[in-house]
Chains A and B, each alone.
Chain A
Amino acid sequence: MKNLVILGAGTSGTMMANHLSHKLSKDDWKITIVDQYKTHYYQPGFLFLPFDIYKKKDVKKKGEKYLPKGVRYVNQKIDQIFAEENKIKLEHEYLEYDILIIATGTKIAPEEIEGMKDKEWHKSIFDFYTYEGSVALRDKLRNWQGGKLVVHITEMPIKCPVAPLEFAFLADSYFKNKGMRDKVEIEFVTPLDGAFTKPKATAALHYLLEDKHIKEITDFNIERIDNNKKIMYDYSGKEVKFDLLVTVPTNLGDEVIEKSGLGDDMNFVPTHKGTLQTKANKNIFAIGDATNLPASKAGSVAHFEAEILTENILLYINGKELKDEFDGHANCFIETGNGKALLIDFNYTQEPVEGTFPFPGVGPLSLLKESRMNHMGKMAFKWIYWNMLVKGIHIPFVSATMTKKGKKIEA
């Protein structure tokens, strides 16, 4: 009997457990998956929870429900990976493996910035990248009387890089609906040179910021926050004052990666970008937010990776050459408020352009253009996530590698 161990039962780990339990012979392989929590969180929902669009029950489910029978589900913290010995130390036991899949994701590290996780944390300084942060922010917004709202990115890379912008758009709608938009000033502060990270998207979408009266402050590299004065300072001496700060702190890989000597500066696992094999060991693979791939850290990316990683694990077991196929395919809905959304579809080399998706020329979803249909897509994503995506069911008409069909690409 051989052992395949998956570390992390979030989006990627759960998908891999589902894929592999169908493909590996039960007589030859035992699959074990480890996570510190019994709960599986739907992180894209953390964007909607603060605005009372989703309820707690929309974003929290029992992890067990989404894992196939026959897979051993261990709820313990992972302490260290001993890559040379093919062994892992958990809180209460050791596990041995023949193949290891790292899917420990990324999490926020507000302690990286002086004054961020201080006395104003979850009082006037919030994150919405954790369940706790998102709920605390909801409670704050319900009673907030207005003032200056600053939506802020600490440093890149962050998972779901468009989420902070969506937050700013949704905040605009939320305050309009509450009849208090005139009492709120919204500022978007980013270390990048624009709100959108790709040039075509910037050109097509900049009007959104103007229409919604969201002020953009770029090239702001935060050094520290003064909790008494409620001011953020940047390394070059710039200041941003806030009444309510919603920040996305530095995103890092888990400490277990650092402790095991398997990470880069940000504790992300150096991984071969086409095959998803780690650079450190042939029998260790990595997927999703835990990797250092130059792709977006998003559930949709993990979904495309999972299809290719499943094939590669089978090739590896049979001693065959791995497929060097993953192209960085990402597909993201961007909420723009007022019941509309955008859709972008891109990969390592192709930046988002206009067109239709998934059917070239027909749609129904339009790329890089605001529409109600896209918003329905984003809302349907929750259903797709719980019922298809994490279960490893292929989403019809959407391929793992990006298609250029239906896209307006300039030569």
Chain B
Amino acid sequence: MQKIIANTTVEVTEQGYLEDFNQWTKEIGTEIAKEKEIEMTDEHWKVITYLQEKHKNEEALSVRGIKKSGVVNIKEFYSLFPGGPLKISTMIAGIPKPKSCI
């Protein structure tokens, strides 16, 4: 279905994940974050960039991967994206919701 985010019309899934990563912009990310009551900081963007890199290389996301990445530890990850860190951060990053989801 279609949704207007940051003045751009994009295709999203029922749950609100972008269908096509190519439609993603930083503005869209910021806007989705706002809907989730998250104010994006450099720390947040570091995580988002890491997730997008993984997505481009077709690598699966996992807790262990995040632990090993050195980008954030899991506690910080939870405090940056409270509730469901991977679910929320992937939505902001414009990539599909991982199956193995936290």
Residues of chain A whose beta carbon lies under 8 Å from any beta carbon of chain B: 112, 155-157, 191-193, 197, 219, 221, 223, 235-236, 250, 252, 264-266, 270, 292, 294
A264-B60 contact given A223-B74, A235-B75, A236-B78, CB 8 Å threshold: yes
Which residues in B have their C-beta under 8 angstroms from that of A192? 99-101
Closest approach, in angstroms, between the C-beta of B22 and any C-beta of chain A? 20
Closest approach, in angstroms, between the C-beta of A121 and any C-beta of chain B? 20
Alpha-carbon distance A1/B62, docked complex (angstroms): 43
- Total number of A-B contacts with CB less than 8 angstroms? 54
Which residues in B have their C-beta under 8 angstroms from that of A191? 100-102
Residues of chain B whose beta carbon lies under 8 Å from any beta carbon of chain A: 58-60, 62-65, 68-69, 74-75, 78, 82-84, 99-102
With CB as the reference atom, state the residue of chain B lying closest to A264.
B59
With CB as the reference atom, state the residue of chain A lying closest to B102.
A221
Of A156, A197, A294, chain B has the most CB atoms within 10 Å of the CB of A156
**Are B99 and A156 within 8 A (Cβ)?**
yes
**Are A235 and B64 within 8 A (Cβ)?**
no
- Interface SS majority for chain B: loop
With CB as the reference atom, state the residue of chain A lying closest to B83.
A236
Task: List the 6 shortest-distance A-B pairs measured between CB atoms, nearest first.
Answer: A156-B100, A265-B65, A221-B102, A235-B78, A155-B63, A235-B74
Closest approach, in angstroms, between the C-beta of A279 and any C-beta of chain B? 9
Alpha-carbon distance A219/B75, docked complex (angstroms): 16
With CB as the reference atom, state the residue of chain A lying closest to B84.
A219
Which residues in B have their C-beta under 8 angstroms from that of A252? 64
**Are B64 and A157 within 8 A (Cβ)?**
no
A294-B62 contact given A197-B99, A221-B102, CB 8 Å threshold: no
Ordered by A's residue number, 13 sampled pairs between the chains whose C-beta atoms are within 8 Å are A156-B99, A156-B100, A191-B102, A197-B99, A219-B84, A235-B75, A235-B78, A235-B102, A236-B78, A250-B64, A265-B62, A270-B59, A294-B99
**Are B101 and A266 within 8 A (Cβ)?**
no
Among A112, A236, A292, A294, the residue within 8 A (CB) of B64 is A112
Which residues in B have their C-beta under 8 angstroms from that of A292? 59-60
Of B60, B65, B69, B82, chain A has the most CB atoms within 10 Å of the CB of B60
Among B64, B68, B75, B78, the residue within 8 A (CB) of A155 is B64
Which residues in A have their C-beta under 8 angstroms from that of B69? 265
With CB as the reference atom, state the residue of chain A lying closest to B60.
A292
**Are B99 and A265 within 8 A (Cβ)?**
no
Alpha-carbon distance A397/B69, docked complex (angstroms): 46
Which residues in A have their C-beta under 8 angstroms from that of B83? 236
With CB as the reference atom, state the residue of chain B lying closest to A223.
B74
Which residues in A have their C-beta under 8 angstroms from that of B100? 155-157, 191-192
Of A157, A197, A250, A264, chain B has the most CB atoms within 10 Å of the CB of A264
Closest approach, in angstroms, between the C-beta of A238 and any C-beta of chain B? 12
**Are B60 and A157 within 8 A (Cβ)?**
yes
Alpha-carbon distance A265/B69, docked complex (angstroms): 9
Which residues in A have their C-beta under 8 angstroms from that of B101? 156, 191-193
Alpha-carbon distance A240/B65, docked complex (angstroms): 25
Closest approach, in angstroms, between the C-beta of B6 and any C-beta of chain A? 27
Among B60, B68, B84, the residue within 8 A (CB) of A294 is B60
With CB as the reference atom, state the residue of chain A lying closest to B66.
A265
Which residues in A have their C-beta under 8 angstroms from that of B68? 265
**Are B74 and A266 within 8 A (Cβ)?**
no
5 additional A-B pairs beyond A192-B99, A219-B84, beta carbons within 8 Å, are A219-B102, A235-B74, A264-B65, A266-B62, A270-B58
**Are B59 and A155 within 8 A (Cβ)?**
no
Which residues in B have their C-beta under 8 angstroms from that of A193? 101
With CB as the reference atom, state the residue of chain B lying closest to A156.
B100
Which residues in A have their C-beta under 8 angstroms from that of B84? 219
Which residues in A have their C-beta under 8 angstroms from that of B65? 264-266
A265-B75 contact given A155-B100, A156-B100, CB 8 Å threshold: no
Closest approach, in angstroms, between the C-beta of B99 and any C-beta of chain A? 7
